Amino acid sequence: MKISLDGKWELSYRNLDGQECGVISATVPGNVELDLIENGLLPRDIFMGENIVLAEKYETYEWTYTRNFEVEDESKDYRIRFDGVDTVAEYFVNGEKIGSSKNMLVEHVFSLPKLKKGSNEIKVVITPVALLMKDKDISLRLGLTWCAKDRAQGFFRKPGHAFGWDIMPRAISAGIWKSVSVEEIPEHEFERFDMTTYSVNKLNASVLVDYFIKSKNFVMRHRGYTVKVEGECGESKFAFEQTVGDVCGSLWINIPNPKIWTIRNRGQQNLYTVKITLYRDGQKLCCKSMRFGVRTIKLHYSDDEFYFVLNGEKIYVNGTNWVPLNPYHSLDKDKLPYALNKVKESGSNIVRCWGGNVYESDEFFDFMDENGILVWQDFAFGCSAYSQDESELSEIKDECKKVIRRLRNHASLALWSGDNENDAMYARAGIDPNLSRISREILPQAVFEHDKERTYLPSSPYVSKTNFIKGGSYDYTNCPEFHLWGARDYYKSDFYKTYNAKFVSEMGYHGSVSVESAKKFIPHDELNNRRTPSWALHSTDNHGSIHRVVLMETQIRFIFGDVPEDIERFSLLSQISQAEAYKFFIEHNRCNAKKTGIIWWNLLDGWPQFSDAIIDYYGGEKLAYYNVIRSQNPVLMMIDPDENGNFTLWGVNDTPNAVNEKVTVTDGDTGEVLFSGEVELLPDSKTAITTLRLYSKKRLLLINYENGFNHYISGYPEYDADEYIRWYEIINAKK
């Protein structure tokens, strides 16, 4: 029996002085700001202009959620589950404290005292994180941070972006942001049921099953208990049974002629439906089910290499970074189906879940399993020095155990990464990141204990003992995996053309939103004035700087010479510069035999802003979105200049099958045929087809082939803006 406590609650709140401020209706799952909006205490258009700053008034308020629920049988044992509470909270049932928590990122489950038949009261009291910050001694070393507006980020288990980031506003929220439920505690249940593929080929798969039975009758040995594991995927079936010797156990399963899971464009996303059942003397006591993909996945990394091996085959990956969908995470679920569909539509075969975010839902990972998209999962640490006090480390251990156990059975989960850019931040401050207990001790131990077959990467980018320069910085030029940001100058500068990294896990370029979207968050009288606080806040910068607005202007100036004043033309030229940049980044990486993947930054905005995202918060698709779809085609024809000024027509095939293509390259204005021919692309190959004599002439080239379409614009800046706009009208007619 399960009782959902989602829906309407009563929310009371008091200010920093302890003064009661009122009682309002609240919705669970929810965030307090959303309830304040519904009750007229914050503007409904919270993202317009600087309105979101008004919410900072409530950062130091204490919040109390209250509601009643009913049970019919008071003799039963019950527990309550909170899937997500933001952040420091105490829990009371019928006036009795049942527990506390201080981690927004994971679930909390408490046993309940004997309940009354009929109505019972649940109360959740949330202490504001902003108020607790005043007790934190932030030393110089612990105060290190790259992005967050508030240095206290390192003491609280909230997503880093909540403290203010360069892609998100400051929103130190509070609330019961995920579902709440009361359920009867059963006599027997599988608390844990895990499966791991140790080896697989077309003839056989070797899989280990681990389980843990939670039972009110703990003495199981020699009492007729058995466990049966059954699985089915199409015509492939298996069933194994063994006697239970204790509450925990394991068994090896050999699956003949297995249905293998692989990523998109390399085969099928086969998923077995697997059920484990506990019997005693033939009577069914409990069962648990999952979907499981038979596959092996490893990340191979060292000071010299960085690549993925899936089912024994080295693969090339390209995809996007996944960032917050909303500052108020109870709203994430509303946007999730749209966002997931856009990941698939973009042609990505990998998604990196960035460390400044919350951990994603089961629905997210189910989608990735079903659609053959790998997930690189950062633990929730980013761009900051986190407290290594024993109490915080204990909280981190518990968090990691819960997260790993929830996600580890997903076929799409490719690796665990310790954090986002913490190594690089430490190293640039002259501190050896290899001394971090969190990334070098706590996290790898958690992965070893709960998911020992999956690769653990200490940080992204990872600064090894070899790459750290003692007393100074780190040698990023020799890191095999890197975040390629740099000066963000002309997208074909030497920085972007000649980097040594084998794998790029962040790389982006700013692009304006459309005028239609800008009108939804920039006040009308500021639309053509890019030096206002609204532009600075939505650029995004939590320190009042407009440097990212200037960045967009500079990138336009690199290509076209002049920066238009009116937002219509500014938006269009900015989007063109971004579109060409993403195209170059992805394609230049793909045709280089030494490169093994790129994860660009990023697909979607989490709030209205001018950013690197290729789809804005309102779903406005920038021009870069269509270039990315074409550039991530698994079979791609492209033109790429080399260091000698030659222009090579490349054919790239990232599939396991040979492909024959008829390719034609024509001048987009005159129709002149520059190349026409048939080529064979071997499996997983990069083929230089021919060298084109383009010199420095500015021209639009159209590349047509059976599996797709691409373009290339030759020559060097400055370009005539009107001519470039006309070329993009030709290009977009093909989408």
- Which strands, in side-by-side order, build the sheet including 313-315? 297-301, 306-310, 313-315
Is the same domain home to 146 and 280?
Answer: no
Say which CATH number the domain at 654 has: 2.60.40
Is the same domain home to 238 and 91?
Answer: no
Is the same domain home to 169 and 192?
Answer: no
Domain boundary among the residues 136, 166, 184 is at 184
729: which DSSP letter?
H
Total domain count for the chain?
3
Give domain status of residue 565, yes or no: no
What are residue 255's DSSP bridge partners? 205
Is the same domain home to 39 and 158?
Answer: yes
Is the same domain home to 145 and 53?
Answer: yes
Is the same domain home to 664 and 694?
Answer: yes
Domain boundary among the residues 136, 160, 184 is at 184
Give domain status of residue 204, yes or no: yes
Is the same domain home to 178 and 199?
Answer: no
Is the same domain home to 179 and 196?
Answer: no
Is the same domain home to 252 and 125?
Answer: no
* Least trusted range by pLDDT, from 430-444, 457-471, 550-564, 623-637: 457-471
* Least trusted range by pLDDT, from 119-133, 174-188, 390-404, 533-547: 533-547
| Mean pLDDT of all residues in 558-587 | 97
* pLDDT of 134: 72
* pLDDT of 389: 85
| Mean pLDDT of all residues in 380-397 | 90
Give domain status of residue 302, yes or no: no
Whether the per-residue pLDDT at 149 is higher than 60: the answer is no
Cα 617 → chain centroid: 16
* pLDDT of 140: 44
- Identify the residue with better confidence: 139 or 273: 273
Segment 28-84, tens digit of pLDDT: 999 999 999 999 999 999 999 999 999 999 999 999 999 999 999 999 999 999 999
Whether the per-residue pLDDT at 355 is higher than 70: the answer is yes
Give domain status of residue 546, yes or no: no
* Least trusted range by pLDDT, from 147-151, 176-180, 448-452: 147-151
Give domain status of residue 435, yes or no: no
| Mean pLDDT of all residues in 196-211 | 96
Give domain status of residue 217, yes or no: yes
**Spatial CB neighbours of 596, under 8 Å, sequence gap ≥ 6:** 305, 306, 307, 308, 314, 316, 317, 502, 503
For CA atoms 122, 123, 129, 132, give the dihedral sign: negative
* pLDDT of 219: 62
117: which DSSP letter?
S
**How far, in Å, CA of 715 to CA of 15, rounded?**
62
Give domain status of residue 386, yes or no: no
> Average pLDDT over the chain, rounded to whole?
93
Question: What is the residue range of 278's domain?
Answer: 188-292
Whether the per-residue pLDDT at 136 is higher than 80: the answer is no
Is the same domain home to 178 and 193?
Answer: no
The model's confidence at residue 137, banded by pLDDT at 50, 70 and 90, is low
The model's confidence at residue 144, banded by pLDDT at 50, 70 and 90, is low
Among 25, 29, 1, 3, smallest CA distance to 12 is for 25
Cα 414 → chain centroid: 13
| Mean pLDDT of all residues in 171-175 | 95
| 175 phi/psi in degrees, rounded to 5 | 140, 170
**How far, in Å, CA of 693 to CA of 672, rounded?**
13
Give domain status of residue 24, yes or no: yes
Is the same domain home to 147 and 209?
Answer: no
Say which CATH number the domain at 210 has: 2.60.40.10
Among 705, 102, 94, 73, smallest CA distance to 391 is for 102
Whether the per-residue pLDDT at 141 is higher than 50: the answer is no
Per-residue H/E/C for 584-616: HHHHHHHCCCCCCEEEECCCECCCCCCECCCEC
Whether the per-residue pLDDT at 508 is higher than 90: the answer is yes
**How far, in Å, CA of 171 to CA of 356, rounded?**
13
The model's confidence at residue 150, banded by pLDDT at 50, 70 and 90, is low
Q: How many CB atoms lie within 10 A of CB 688?
A: 14
Whether the per-residue pLDDT at 333 is higher than 70: the answer is yes
**How far, in Å, CA of 476 to CA of 457, rounded?**
17
Domain boundary among the residues 272, 292, 312 is at 292
Segment 527-572, tens digit of pLDDT: 999 999 999 999 977 678 898 899 999 999 999 999 999 999 999 9
Is the same domain home to 174 and 213?
Answer: no
* pLDDT of 734: 76
Share of the chain above pLDDT 70, in %: 96
Q: What is the CA radius of gyration of the chain?
A: 27
Among 404, 406, 411, smallest CA distance to 443 is for 404
Question: Do 490 and 592 contact (CB within 8 A), yes or no?
Answer: no
Say which CATH number the domain at 112 has: 2.60.120.260
* pLDDT of 470: 67
